[in-house]
Structure formats: C-alpha cells, structure tokens
Chain A
Amino acid sequence: MSGPLHTPLCDKLGIEYPVVAFTHCKDVAVAVINAGGFAVLGEAMHTPDEIAADIKWIRDRIGGKPFGIDLVLPASVPESKTVDELLAMIPQAHRDFEQHIKQKYNVPDPKVAPNLHQWGGLDQKRALAQLEVIFDERVPVFASGLGSPAFLLKRAHELNMQVWGLVGKPRQAKKQITAGTNVIIAQGYDAAGHTGNIGTFSIVPQVVDQARGTGVPVLAAGGVTTGRHLAAALALGADGVWTGSLWLASRESDVNLPLKERLIEAETDDTMYSNCISGYTMRTTRCPWHDEWLAPGAPEPLKPPLQMMLSSNYIQGSLDYQRKDLMTEAAGQGIHYVTEMKPARQILSDIVEEALDVFDRFASA
C-alpha cells in the first residue's frame, strides 16, 4: 500500500495505518489490530501472571500480527514506607475534608474498600518482575509509558523486540534515541493522565528534529482524536499517532456505561490538569472531587501517595454504584471529538478517511 498515510512506521510494524491505540482493554486492542492499526495494551497494574494471560488472549485473536505491551517504569523513587506509616501521615483536616465531600454529594461507600495494603511495591522490583514476562513472551513491542527504557534495550534487541519510549521533553527524546530506542512517542500537555508541560503542536516537531536522520519514527500523542489531527501530525513530521482517549467510549471498551456517557458528554475544558486525585498532576475529567479541592478554602492536596489514599474511596464508590455525576477518568483535551459509542473498527476507519480527505483537499488546491 502507498499513499500519504503510509509511513515508515507502517513498514516497521507491517500495519496498514499509522494509528496506535493505547488502551487498557484487550478487546479494543484486538479490534484495532485486526482493522489495520496497531495497539499497545497498558498493563502497569497487572501481575506477571495476568500479563502472561493477556498476551496469550491477544495472540489467540490476531493471527500472528504484532502488538505491544506498555508498562510504567519508575524514574524516581523515594525511600519506601509502610502503608500504615503513610496513612498516619494524612492530616485530620484532610480526612475531614474528604468526609465533607462525601456528605455533600452523598458519595456511597465502595462495595469493597480499596485494600491499601495491597498497593505496595510499585518500585524497581515490581517493574523487573513484569519485564521478565515481556521478555519471556517475546512481545513484539515493549512501550515504556514513563521512565527511560534504555537499560533494557540490549536484551530486548537480542530477542528481536522493539522498544518504544514515551517522552514529555525533547531532551528525553534525544537521550533515548542515542541509547537506541526504536520509536519515540512525543506526548504533549493535551494528553490524558501524566504529561509534560509542552503542548503537542510544540513538542512533536522538536522531537522530530531530534530524530531526523536516525531512522527512528516519532509518534504524536496528546489530543489526537480526529483524522485532521492525524494529518496534522504527519505534516509536523511524525510517522503516526498514539491515541488513548479516542477508544475509551468505543463499543468494545470495558469502561462502564455511565462513564462512557460522561466521556461522550465531556468538552475539552471538562478535562482538568490537577494533583487533587493522586498528588501528581494529571489530566482527568472534571468531577465534584475536583470542584471541592479547587474551591477557595480547600486544603492543599497531599503528596503522593497520600492524596490517592484519600481519594480512593470516592473513586471506587462512584464506580461501584455507577454514579455518573461523581465519576472521573483520565482523558485528553481531544475528548470533544469523542461523541459516539462506535466500534473500534469504525473509529479507525473514520480517522483514516478524514485524514485522506485532508490530503486530497491539499492535493487538489
């Protein structure tokens, strides 16, 4: 296949369209891969056994096509403390504020309270155990969603695996390209979840400049939800796009129905870049929890992981009782264009068609 959407990334992966779905849902990943795109499954929360099972599940459904697994490698780690020590560090004023929100919005108790004591070990040891499965399974693409994957490149390449790195700053891209990372994902501030502070339109060309002449493809990430975004990313010099929010409300997505409705209703300014959920700044859809923590007189959000300990009951309660009015989810600024609950195949097809229309329009001008 040739044409304006056929980029070196397509050849590198053997795919039809330079669209990568980042998803936590296996069904979405399989649907996108079988429709001609590429998918990377986020497995950061999963145990090694769960990761192995998910890999087998995907392989059984994609007929030998390539796929990717994403893990969150830590990049900085303070000395660890026990959960009980951490809980003791939450000030009473913050606990009182949580109760105030709970009463004001009639937030239900979770059906099963989050077991904070099972949260531990999000450190190097856990990451290394997860990585062993990735290597054992010879996963075609390993993507690092946060920390640098440079330390594992030699082993991955010996196993004929590609390693991708997601960056929020041009200097991170330069370092990863020099180390031998196969694909760089340049993620802008528009994106869901953790981001750098540089917008997608600014970071993508800078990372493309860093990659020029190296043969390393660059993916544009952050706010990409239409074919016009795809065309613009290619015009900026990217070889494809990395998309996340686009798939959250898809037919195959395992996000619960009220939350899908909330995402479909959400506008760009309904996404908030705040540290009130976890203590880290991250982009999520606005909910009463945000409103209260941003209101005058609210306490300052606590550091990680204390703030997450404080918000966990609210979040779990909203999910357990399908309280759409309370729910929140990581979503990027492109959420404005997520307006229907469509099959993943159609979402991909719509993006491709729209991007081709853009190029046709320019070609005929």
Chain B
Amino acid sequence: MSSIDSPAPDSQNAADALQPALEGLDFVSGFAPEMQGRQAECDGGAPIVGTKYAGRQDFVGKLTGYYRDYGKYAWRWYLLAELTVKPQGYLHQSVWCDADSLFLDDMSSQQPK
C-alpha cells in the first residue's frame, strides 16, 4: 500500500512562497509556531461522498503548526502529521483538522486557537 503525503510546506519560507499562489483561493495559509510539535487528538470525520450520511474518524499525531483559515469566520484548520492513530486503510500521513475538533494532549482543556 502506498502512502501519500499531504503537501505541507517544510519551512516558513516555503509557506511564504506559496502565499501569492493562494490568492483568490478559498483559504488563507499561516503558521502558528506555538502549535508546532504539540501532540493532539482529532475527533474527525466528514460527509460520505454520494450519500446523505457522514462518518467519524479519529486521529492522533503532532501538529505541524501550519494552518488554513476558510471563509469569513476564520474557520481554522491545522495540519496534523506523524500520525500514530489513524483509521484502518487511511493512506495519507497527515490530515487537516478543524481547530474545534482538536484536543491537545498536553493541555487538554486549552482551545487550540
């Protein structure tokens, strides 16, 4: 089974370099250094394509610090990588998680935002 890495910039410079290319897209990228390297659990899931249903998926990994803000409410998503828990058959090595669905393992009561 092959693994597919989500494309994550590997440095702040790389993230900055990407920024012009993202103009006009649906999100704004950023980097939160205080989040980098923190262990987190993601109570994830998504709509199931072609159906009216949804499915839950749990992940555990380390936050890269990279985030994306969607829409006018700043709907923030963090990139979780080095996954130690992921659904069976999940092909990627990282996942974008809604900030409000993340639970930091080192400070479980703190909102990652």
Contact = CB atoms under 8 A, between A and B. Distances in A.
A228 B95 CA distance: 42
A75 B45 contact: yes
Contacts of B89: 279, 300-303
B98 A148 contact: yes
B32 to A, nearest CB: 16
Interface stretch (A6-14, A151-159, A337-345, A357-365): A151-159
Interface string B10-54: 000000000000000011000000000000001111111111111
B26 A77 contact: no
Interface in B59-107: 59, 70-77, 87-92, 94-101, 103
Interface in A302-338: 302-305, 308-309, 312, 330
A74 interface: yes
SS class, residues of chain A in contact with chain B: loop
A195 B55 CA distance: 8
A316 B69 CA distance: 37
A193 B71 CA distance: 28
Chain B interface category by residue count? 35 or more
Contacts of B51: 45, 278, 308
Given A74-B98, A124-B26, A151 B74 contact: yes
A168 B56 contact: yes
With a 10 A CB-CB cut-off, give which of B51, B59, B76 has the most chain A CB atoms: B51
B57 A76 contact: yes
A72 B103 CA distance: 20
A312 B90 contact: no
A75 B46 contact: yes
Q: Which of B50, B89, B101, B108 counts the most A-chain CB atoms under 10 A from its CB?
A: B50
Contacts of A116: 50
A78 B6 contact: yes
A254 to B, nearest CB: 12
A215 interface: no
A207 B70 CA distance: 30
Interface string A154-191: 11000000000000110110011011000000000000
B48 to A, nearest CB: 5
A112 B46 CA distance: 26
Given A151-B75, A175-B111, A303-B91, A77 B46 contact: yes
A66 interface: no
Contacts of B91: 78, 89, 303
Given A75-B43, A125-B26, A128-B75, A278 B48 contact: yes
Contacts of A172: 43, 101
Interface residues of A, number: 61
A93 B87 CA distance: 21
B4 A79 contact: yes
Interface string A77-94: 111010000000100000
B4 A147 contact: no
A303 B46 CA distance: 13
A76 B42 contact: yes
A190 to B, nearest CB: 15
Contacts of B46: 72, 74-77, 122-123, 146, 304
A45 B100 contact: no
Contacts of A45: 51-52
Contacts of B43: 75, 168-169, 171-172
Pick the 6 closest A-B CB pairs, nearest first: A280-B55, A76-B44, A148-B100, A303-B89, A75-B101, A150-B100
Interface of A: 24, 42, 44-45, 72-79, 81, 89, 114, 116, 119-120, 122-125, 128, 131, 145-148, 150-152, 154-155, 168-169, 171-172, 175-176, 178-179, 193-196, 275, 278-282, 300-305, 308-309, 312, 330
27 contacts: A45-B52, A72-B47, A72-B54, A74-B45, A75-B45, A76-B57, A76-B59, A77-B77, A78-B91, A78-B94, A114-B50, A128-B75, A146-B46, A147-B45, A147-B98, A152-B75, A169-B43, A171-B108, A172-B43, A179-B100, A194-B54, A196-B56, A303-B87, A304-B46, A304-B49, A305-B50, A309-B49
Given A147-B45, A300-B88, 15 more contacts: A76-B42, A78-B94, A124-B71, A125-B26, A125-B70, A145-B54, A146-B54, A151-B76, A175-B111, A179-B100, A193-B53, A194-B53, A280-B87, A302-B89, A304-B48
